[in-house]
Chains A and B, each alone.
Chain A
Amino acid sequence: GAGVSQSPSNKVTEKGKDVELRCDPISGHTALYWYRQSLGQGLEFLIYFQGNSAPDKSGLPSDRFSAERTGGSVSTLTIQRTQQEDSAVYLCASSLGNRVRAYEQYFGPGTRLTVT
């Protein structure tokens, strides 16, 4: 079946502009996660959605970052007034949620964001 999809695959933006990154999880997966990975670094957790519960936003680095998930499916990560330090690969993952083998996360191909 279809995996996690993300768009765009690459995004180049000027400092100060807003960007929106999209994630379409695996059908039936109730949990959705956003991570950030800077070059040569590990995964940095950003935000987690589980069903209709309030999202866990504890990883968002500043109030310039926000995310929403519409209809329990597609999610959009928005970065306002982008800064050069926001340059990274933004990865989305989904999992089944609170069921057997619920914690296995499957990752999308990522969006490479470059802020010039």
Chain B
Amino acid sequence: QKEVEQNSGPLSVPEGAIASLNCTYSDRGSQSFFWYRQYSGKSPELIMFIYSNGDKEDGRFTAQLNKASQYVSLLIRDSQPSDSATYLCAPHNAGNMLTFGGGTRLMVKP
């Protein structure tokens, strides 16, 4: 089992819809969780982090964390074509580093 699992996609949603990106992780000791967005040909950029169970909202983005189920998700409301990118889930591990998932490619169609 991979340490961080993400569906590679592509996940295709129409403009204005909610995009739901999911991630499961194996390290029960992970306490902090990060979502990065990577546009094609660019480097990853941090868009959200969450430390506590429940939801955290930031603009059109909502991160959801369920530590008991070892599951973290990212919801993007009112999806825009500019949201089309690969989204990387990254739990923080005991080695003081982030473990990156393979990413989910999101395509928002006008």
Binding site for B on A (CB under 8 A): 31, 33, 35, 41-43, 45, 48, 50, 56, 91, 98, 101, 103-110
Contacts and interface: CB of A to CB of B under 8 A. Distances in A.
Interface string B97-110: 11111110000000
A101 B100 CA distance: 17
Nearest to A58: B95
Contacts of B102: 41-42
Contacts of B101: 42
A104 B88 contact: no
B76 to A, nearest CB: 20
Interface residues of B, number: 19
Interface centre among A41, A101, A103, A108 (most CB of B within 10 A): A103
Interface of B: 32, 34, 42-46, 49, 88, 92, 95-103
B46 A105 contact: yes
B43 A104 contact: no
Interface centre among B44, B45, B99 (most CB of A within 10 A): B44
B79 to A, nearest CB: 23
B43 A103 contact: no
Given A42-B103, A104-B34, 16 more contacts: A31-B96, A42-B88, A42-B100, A45-B99, A48-B95, A56-B95, A91-B43, A91-B44, A103-B92, A104-B46, A104-B49, A105-B34, A105-B46, A106-B46, A107-B44, A109-B42
A42 B7 CA distance: 12
Contact of B43 (A42, A101, A108): A108
B45 A107 contact: yes
Contact of B96 (A103, A106, A108, A110): A103
